Amino acid sequence: MELRVAGLDGPVEIIRDSLGVSHCRAVSEHDAFFAQGFVHAADRLWQLDYDRRRGLGRSAEYVGPAGLVGDTLYRRLDLAGDARRDLAALSAAARDMLTAYAAGVNARLDTLGSESAALLPEFAGIALPLPPWQPWHSLVVYRVRHFTMGSASTKLWRAVVGAALGPAVARMMVTPGSSAQLACVPPGERCDGPVPSWAALDDGGSNNWALAGSRTASGLPLLAGDPHRPLEMPNVYVQGHVACPEWDVLGLSMPGVPGFPHFGHNDRIAWCITHAMADDQDLYRFEVPPSAADGGPRTELIAVRDRASVPVEVRHSGRGPLVTDDLALAWTAAAPNTGFDALPAMLRARSVDGLFETMRAWVEPANNLVAADRDGSIGYLTRGRIPVRRRPGAAWAPVPAEDPSYGWRGFVAFADMPRLQNPDGGFVFSANNRILAAADGPYLSLDTAAPWRATRIVDTLSSMSAATVDDMAALHRDVLSLPAKRLARLLGDWRPLDGWDGRLTPDSAAAAAYSVLRRELAQLVLERSGLAAFVEHPWNRLLPGVRAESLVWRVAGDHLEAGDESLLGGWSWHRALTEAVRRAERAWGGEPWGYLHATRQRHPLGRAELDPPSVPYGGDMDTVQASSYLPFEGLHTASGSVARYAFDVADWDSSGWVVPLGSAGQPGHRHAHDQQEAWRTGQLLPAPYSRRAVQAAAQAQDRLLPS
């Protein structure tokens, strides 16, 4: 099919492979970003508009009252105002990228015309206009996707716990240091000093690694990993391939955002990230709320589908926007932010060194960036903007806003960011774990992941030789829980756990029994400690989608193992376990783990016909195939790998990838769910890159022509 559109320099070829993934070839960089915007709008138009509305505080127009918490927050944060400001400060290359991408999105809108709502099932019954895409909208979409990954949520929970039950109990929400903690730099080294641990919140579970050629079959590196986020419909990432004379990149991107900021490769280098868990957000509490003269206020109306509009007051202070009447939030991304300057530059990188240098502009989120190149180099870099604090208290909880000794005195210098290339062990990795082994580097974060995934990855990579893409996929799907067998022994003589090997496979009844019992134990700790009464505290429900009380799930296991009964309200562990077993026997009917832990993606519109089918799934928060659940809301998989990839530097066409659901976002599309079975079973699907491989995989071909 040929289609004439305005704004192109020349023809654009779009080939769709057997998975529906688009491979775009353009005559200029402008046309490459235009093409990416066009195919994103073709595959994920509703998602683009929904994420834009979320960032603008207008999602309730689509989803009704369920959108009010997020809309209120994002209005108060003024993501839109920040994005407009930052667009003007970006480099010419970044502004050109965003402008070309927006033109591509709008070209797709023009092809649909005024009947677009009738053509797409998500828009049925929604009488709202689709405004043209503006370049700054991409900044809004990117930030709304990352705000709740910041450090504010655990600070709020610790503050709630501390105010209710005292600072000693709040400290228990950060588990004690452990000699089992491993660092990214140097890779796999045991950490010095106390290392707190992040429990199973929504986004925990990401892994990545690069193996040097000394450990691979080809003699050149392999780079692999799997980001974890809440499982959504549509999926947060979309596969794609865009080429022009300046660069040729295959990877995963976010609909609404140009480039490939997280995962991808060109002809010389591959890159990927995990969340660095950096401390990038601070909260300031006012004893006396700022007056109108200090920062407003202004009242905005949030339109709500099928309901009356809701007023929200928006105010700013010298400490940042007020997210409640007396609480201001400072976020590194809200300071003048030119992080998107890195996006066009990184696509041209030719080496690990060169890629890392393009990251000087990067702001948010802070990431563990891992890379590998055709010269055989592998490397690790912490990228992002991390504040240097005047006093350490802000790392723990909200601090007094009126105290001038709290605040930031700049950011960690790029030269001081942890960085490593070609270590002797032959690999680099990250798993949301502690970044630096030594305690004398820059302060990066208080909360990090528990050590189990990192330990399993390091042990596996350390034993690898002659590794292939298949070996990378095998590590992706590893469901052995290192703490499970140890904890299972402490959970009493419950017969369903006899002889269990600690693997949370979908067909395992023992894995289900273990998980049900751990959930009941966590519920008991929540009740006996008195914390259950504070779960619905406004501060603990301030951030949309975050369930910080899930920290109790890990704390309960840690305290059981340590014999610490301080959270049991006078009970002994023997009594608590007896009661937990009684509850588990009542709650569990013998179903296998995959049945209880099945996926449950739900479309934001709440219409059952838009939801994808559920599938059985394995793993849990402690396994490499991380698949967390929200213990107090059920056992179904809430978060999981939103992509898996293994890039073969020696032969890009041997690489593989997979996403949950599929490449298309529209329910009913033939590529809406066609990768789900491969994703469920941990298989990687072809990721053709060369001109020859793309042509061989072609299922459809279109051309965009200048009008």
* DSSP SS3 for 9: coil
The catalytic residue positions are 206
Residue among 484, 487, 476, 517 at smallest CA distance from 501: 484
- pLDDT tens string 646-686: 999 999 999 999 999 999 999 999 999 999 999 999 999 99
Which residues in 234-291 belong to E strands, given as ranges?
A: 238-244, 247-253, 263-265, 269-275, 281-285
For residue 76, the cross-strand partners are: none
CA–CA–CA angle 75, 278, 476 (5° rounding): 105
Helices H / strands E in the chain, number of each: 21, 30
Helices (H), 498-645: 509-529, 551-562, 573-587, 593-596
- Report the distance separating Cα 235 and Cα 664, nearest Å: 9
pLDDT of residue 204: 62
- CATH class of segment(s) 152-282+331-476: alpha beta
Residue ranges of the chain that CATH labels 1.10.1400.10: 482-641
DSSP-assigned letters across all residues of 333-370: GGSS--GGGHHHHHHT--SHHHHHHHGGG--SS-EEEE
**In Å, how far are 126, 358, 390, 639, 645 from 414, measured between CA atoms?**
47, 11, 19, 32, 28
- pLDDT tens string 168-212: 888 877 644 445 789 999 999 998 655 444 333 444 689 999 999
- Residues of the chain under the 50 pLDDT cut: 175-178, 195-203, 293
Q: Is the preceding peptide bond at 365 cis, omega within 30 degrees of 0?
A: yes
Q: Which residue has the tokens 């056992």?
A: 635
Ramachandran sector of residue 247 (left: φ over 0; alpha: ψ -120 to 50; beta: rest) = beta
Residue ranges of the chain that CATH labels 3.60.20.10: 152-282+331-476
- Report the distance separating Cα 36 and Cα 42, nearest Å: 10
Enter the tokens of residue 189.
Answer: 């080294």
Residue type, 702: D
Q: What pTM did the predictor assign? A: 0.95
Chain Cα centroid distance, residue 703: 34
- Report the distance separating Cα 67 and Cα 60, nearest Å: 4
DSSP letter assigned to residue 637: B
Ramachandran sector of residue 606 (left: φ over 0; alpha: ψ -120 to 50; beta: rest) = left
- CATH class of segment(s) 482-641: mainly alpha
- Report the distance separating Cα 341 and Cα 413, nearest Å: 17
* DSSP SS3 for 198: strand
